[in-house]
Amino acid sequence: MPPTAALAQTPAFTETLFEDDFSGLNLGLFPMQNSPLGEYHALPLPGPPGAWRVPVNHWSWSKDGRCFQVVPDAGGRALETLGYSPHYDNRILVAGARDWGDLRLEARVTPLPGDGDGSPAGGLCGLIARYEDSRTYLALVLDRDGSLKLLRRRENVFEVLAAAPLACESGAPLAFTLTAARDRLIGQAGDVRIQATVDGYRRGGIGLLADVPARFGPVKVLTTPAEQGRLERERSRAAQARARRARRYPAARLAHRFPLHGLVNGRNLRLADVNGDGKPEIVVAQGSRALVERFDLTRLTCLSVLDLEGNVLWQAGQPDPEAPIANGDLPFQVCDIDGDGSLEVVCVFGFDVQIRHGRTGKILWSASTPATVPVPRDFKEVSSSWGSAWGDETLNMNVAQLRTVNLQGRPKAREILLKDDYHHLAVLDPFSSGEILLRHRGVHGHFPWAGDLDGDGRDELLAGYSCLDHDGSRKWSLHLQDHQDAIAVLDPLAPGGKRKRIFMCGGEDGLLILGLNAEFHARLQGHAQRMGIAKFRADLPGLQIASVTFWGNPGIFRLHDATGKLLWSKELPVAGGLAAPVNWTGREEELMLYSLAPGAGLLDGHGELCVEAPPDGPHACFDTTPLFMSDGRDALLAWDRETLAVHVPADAPLKGKRAKQVYRPSRPDPENRSNYQAYVSLPPGW
């Protein structure tokens, strides 16, 4: 069809849907959360005021976050992208709503001169329409090969829908127009016009895209009267649906606040009755770079046990009021490792593994961390370090995480698994003079899994993409491009299944479903880092898999059914995410924890926000626990450096009230989190 014929069928765009000349933005740099901390924490993403948001950010783009700036331009203001984005993804700013349909986007785009050869991604600058998330959208771009292109983004792939030569000098502004009308996409820059037909991609917001230096002038979005009417009707229906959800799900009520006195970094918090008084204590850990350097330590610099009034019962190490608010995992866990019925704290200070008495903090046993087995240089040169150096292999292991395992078939897990960031893993037996039972090198990912897969009474280990037998021999390995972030092993999700399956979040490798001998049952497309497996939808058979990615993205949540079919995908605008199941109502259908930052909360099985996060803090870190509930449901934990808050369903019985027991689901545990957090049950009515 000739371009003129396509335009003749295009509806009249007469209603202004959105308009911005950037006059409301301050001159200078945009604030950016260019930090890997968003991978673990629900830190709200700072960004420009008003309608625009930054859906993709990456710490590697530049050391000082110089990605976007507002500059004077022709008596007004314009937006510029600075330099190139040579790693991970393109830089984009987005606005609008997921329900926008037919529209015409107009903006002035000016490619700018820059140093170097540009981005390996291709050197693009232009406009985005039908934006669903940072991996799903349509775009009209000027490519550095001298072409105007219509593109479709699917995951990490750009598909060229149409292209035409476009002569343009650096620094010369071009009037861009991107029209999306049902399944037709029409792009124009200057006198060059291209068009394409697109299946799907019927709704979404708009955006600005550039991985090279570029300037964007005023932005305007027009729509048709029919589309304007549809949006008004849809939003009215959405408001009614929100009201129905509010009636169905109780709001969150603040039940407790406990002081932490600045003694915790990030998610390094456990709740456990370590002194046997029938109430939980708060075990928190801190890592201070200044103290690490001063005292020649590695990670853990202070370990504290507090009662619920905030009194410090015992403390090891030295607190630092200047320690960062966020940190990665610190090596400590709470468990009954000797089987005497009371809890111990297992931790690593420097290169010393310690078992401490839970009530007093007294050291019951200690040993040096295992020596590091050097990795051959040729292996390092062809392997990714995944954001963490291989380390000084003349030293003992610099332990990042630990957990208990059972490699010897004892009645209880009594051996200690130690791992550094990604590459070295060892298991030692504290009841046999610290004997090293197992060593392994490789890319281990974040959370090793341990359990008896073959029924011999002894644990096997899933370390990254490798399965290790109890004696350390390798049973199998997968050879994929990324690394494992979370693991679950459980019976089949669908009714009638007979064999256990392994579920792995593999980053760019997607969500993997394997048999116990590594045979692939499904490899679900889409970056995946965390997951929750539960009955999120009562209208579907079996269980569902919720997964989330937030590496470079605020948080893309996906829900798959028991067969692996994608039910929905949604980008949510807060960094961090958990997807943990939450028993909030006592009914069979569970909710999923999105975040407890402002604007977040609990999602239902359709991806709709049904319980809003409390408006006041804390909200840097979050988790769930049944610990403070007497009726079997879950409470929500939210904390920062200074305070731990416990939020419960608004209809939960008050302290001392007799509670009716409700449905308590039996859940799989994707990260063996029961080994990381030693929650205990409270007596009824506590």
Confidence tier at 544 by pLDDT (50, 70, 90) = very high
Tokens of 299: 């990670």
Q: DSSP states of 288-349 as a string?
A: -HHHHHHHT--S--EEEEE-TTS-EEEEEE---TTS-S-----SEEEE--SSSSS-EEEEEE
The answer to whether the beta carbons of residues 664 and 632 sit under 8 Å apart is yes
| 566 strand-pairing partners | 560
The answer to whether the beta carbons of residues 304 and 310 sit under 8 Å apart is no
**DSSP 8-class letter at 396:** B
The pLDDT value recorded for residue 200 is 87
The answer to whether the beta carbons of residues 618 and 611 sit under 8 Å apart is no
Q: What is the rounded CA–CA span in Å between residue 137 and residue 152?
A: 6
Tokens of 198: 């697109």
- Mean pLDDT value across the chain: 85
Q: Model confidence over 235-268: pLDDT tens digits?
A: 999 999 989 998 999 999 999 999 999 999 888 9
Confidence tier at 49 by pLDDT (50, 70, 90) = low
Give every CB contact of residue 92 below 8 A, 6+ residues apart in sequence. 54, 55, 56, 128, 134, 207, 208, 209, 210
> What Rg, from alpha-carbon coordinates, does the chain have?
27
The upper half-sphere exposure of residue 454, i.e. CA atoms within 13 Å in the direction of its Cβ, equals: 14
Question: Taking the complete model, does pTM exceed 0.85, yes or no?
Answer: yes
The pLDDT value recorded for residue 443 is 81
Confidence tier at 686 by pLDDT (50, 70, 90) = very low
- Burial status of residue 455 (CB atoms within 10 A of its CB: 0-12, 13-18, 19 or more): exposed
Residue 326 pLDDT > 80: no
The pLDDT value recorded for residue 385 is 62
Q: What is the rounded CA–CA span in Å between residue 189 and residue 148?
A: 8
Q: What is the rounded CA–CA span in Å between residue 400 and residue 298?
A: 9
Q: What is the rounded CA–CA span in Å between residue 332 and residue 405?
A: 14
Q: Which helix (H) or strand (E) holds 118?
A: none
Question: Residue 121: how many CB atoms within 10 A of its CB?
Answer: 17
The answer to whether the beta carbons of residues 187 and 129 sit under 8 Å apart is no
CA dihedral 556, 562, 566, 568 (to 10 degrees): -60
Query: Among 684, 585, 649, 673, which residue's Cα sits nearest to residue 271?
Result: 673
Q: Model confidence over 177-222: pLDDT tens digits?
A: 999 999 999 999 999 999 999 998 999 999 999 888 899 999 999 9
Tokens of 503: 């579920």
The pLDDT value recorded for residue 332 is 94
Residue 414 pLDDT > 90: yes
The pLDDT value recorded for residue 40 is 47
| 355 strand-pairing partners | 346, 365
Q: Model confidence over 423-466: pLDDT tens digits?
A: 889 999 999 988 999 999 888 887 889 999 999 999 999 998 99
The pLDDT value recorded for residue 493 is 81
Residue 47 pLDDT > 60: no
Average of per-residue pLDDT across 460-485 = 91
- Burial status of residue 90 (CB atoms within 10 A of its CB: 0-12, 13-18, 19 or more): buried
| 425 strand-pairing partners | 419, 440
Q: What is the rounded CA–CA span in Å between residue 458 and residue 635?
A: 34
Beta strands at 28-29 and 68-73: parallel, antiparallel or unpaired = antiparallel
Q: Among 247-256, 563-572, 646-655, which range has the highest average pLDDT?
A: 247-256
Lowest mean pLDDT among 84-93, 413-422, 524-533: 84-93
Tokens of 281: 């204590």
Confidence tier at 550 by pLDDT (50, 70, 90) = low
Which bin fits 145, alpha (ψ -120 to 50), beta or left (φ > 0)? alpha
Residue 314 pLDDT > 90: yes
Q: Which helix (H) or strand (E) holds 381?
A: helix 377-381
Q: For residues 1-30, b (16+ Cβ closer than 10 Å) or e, as one string?
A: eeeeebeeebeebebebbebebeebeeeeb
List the beta strands (DSSP E) in 63-102. 68-73, 76-81, 91-95
CA angle 234, 239, 241 (to 5 degrees): 95
Tokens of 48: 């420009």
Lowest mean pLDDT among 72-76, 94-98, 671-675: 671-675
Q: What is the rounded CA–CA span in Å between residue 381 and residue 464?
A: 19
